[in-house]
Structure 1
Amino acid sequence: MHSNPEDEVIKNLLKEARTIAVVGLSPKPHRDSFKVAAYMQASGYRIIPVHPNAREVLGEKVYRSLAEIPEKVDIVNVFRRSDQVVPVVVDAVGLKPKAVWLQVGITSEEGAAIAKEHGIDMIMDRCLMLEHKRLCTNC
C-alpha cells in the first residue's frame, strides 16, 4: 500500500520545483483548482493549465493534455476523480516530473505503482496549497 513521502521530502520537492502542470485547472475563480493554482502562481511557481476546453487560465496558455506540454514539468497536480488518475499518471510519465500530486480526496494505488515504477514520487489525498503553507514558510 502506498504511503506519502515524509515531510522533509515534500518540502525539498516544493523548494526545488519551478513548474506545476495542473490537470483539471478550471477557469472559474470559485473552484478549488483555480484557488490552489492562483496561490501557487503567486508563490512564484509557473503554472501550466491542462483542461480540454479552456484557452487561457491565470494568464497562461491551456494545454488539452499533458502530452501537449513542450517543456519541463516538476510537479503534475491532479484535480480529477480517483477513477481518472491512472491515464493521467501514464501521460505524466512522458514528462518525467519529480512528482504527481493528487489533491484531497483523490487516491489511486494503481497510479502510485505506475509512478513508483518510473521513479516519480506520488503524493495522494493532500492539498498542494495547504502543504506549501505548512512546510514552506521560508521556501
Structure 2
Amino acid sequence: MNHDHYDDAMLAGWLTRVRSIAVVGASPNPARPSHRVAQFLARHGYRVFAINPGQAGRDIAGLPTYARLADVPEPIDMVDVFRAPEYLAGVVEETLALSPRPALIWTQLDVHDDTAAATAEQAGLAIIMDRCPAIEIPRLRVPPRS
C-alpha cells in the first residue's frame, strides 16, 4: 500500500469501526502530545489503554497504564504508536504476538517505516502512518463512540 496518501473514506471507516485503542508511548506529562491524544480519544468514547513501561500500574490521563501490549487484559482494535520510527518494527512484532491481534496499527506524525509497514501488512494487519487520529477525527467528522 502507498503510505504517502490515504483516502478519507478509508480513514473515517477505520476510526468508526475501532472501539479500543492502545496508545504506545503514552506520557504522564500533560504537555506531551501522547498525553493529550490519549485523553482526546477517551473523551471521544474509545476504550483507551496507555502503554508505558516506566508508568505501568499508574494512571496516565485518567487511563489504565500497562508496560506492554500483552499486559492489556482485553482485545485491542488499534495500536496508536507514539514512538520514534526506529522503534516501530518492535511495536509491530509486539502487536503480531497478540491474540487476538488488533486489526490496525496507526503511527503518529513523523513516524514512518516502510519495512515495518510491510511486515505488518504481510501478516494481515492494516497500517496507517504519519497521521494523528486526534486531527483526523474532527476533520472527517467521525461521530463519538457510543
The equivalent residue for 1:91 is: 94
Answer yes or no: is 1:126 the counterpart of 2:131: yes
The equivalent residue for 1:105 is: 110
Q: Kindly tell me the number of residue pairs found equivalent between the two proteins.
A: 139
Aligned pair in 2 of structure 1 residues 28, 121: CA closer, same or farther (>3 Å)? same
User: What is the root-mean-square deviation of aligned Cα atoms in Å?
Assistant: 1.5
Aligned pair in 2 of structure 1 residues 137, 100: CA closer, same or farther (>3 Å)? closer
Answer yes or no: is 1:12 the counterpart of 2:13: yes
| Bigger Cα displacement from structure 2, 125-134 vs 51-60 | 51-60
The equivalent residue for 2:32 is: 31
Deviation per CA, 1:26-65: give whole Å up to 9, x if none: 0111100011111111000111000011122122221111
| Structure 1 segments (4+ residues) deviating >4 Å | none
* Displacement after TM superposition at 1:88 (Å): 0.3
Deviation per CA, 1:100-136: give whole Å up to 9, x if none: 0110011011110111012111111111100111113
Gaps of 5+ in 2: none
SS of 1:76's equivalent in the other structure is: strand
Identity of aligned residues (%): 36
Q: Tell me how far apart the structure 2 counterparts of residues 137 and 113 of structure 1 sit (CA, whole Å).
A: 28
Gaps of 5+ in 1: none
Q: Tell me how far apart the structure 2 counterparts of residues 138 and 65 of structure 1 sit (CA, whole Å).
A: 29
**Correspondences of 1:34-113 after superposition (within 5 Å):** 34-54=35-55, 55-95=58-98, 96-113=101-118
Q: Tell me how far apart the structure 2 counterparts of residues 137 and 14 of structure 1 sit (CA, whole Å).
A: 7
| TM-score, length-scaled by structure 1 | 0.92
Q: Tell me how far apart the structure 1 counterparts of residues 143 and 72 of structure 2 sit (CA, whole Å).
A: 30
| TM-score, length-scaled by structure 2 | 0.88
The equivalent residue for 2:119 is: 114
Letter in 2 for 1:136: R
SS of 2:54's equivalent in the other structure is: coil
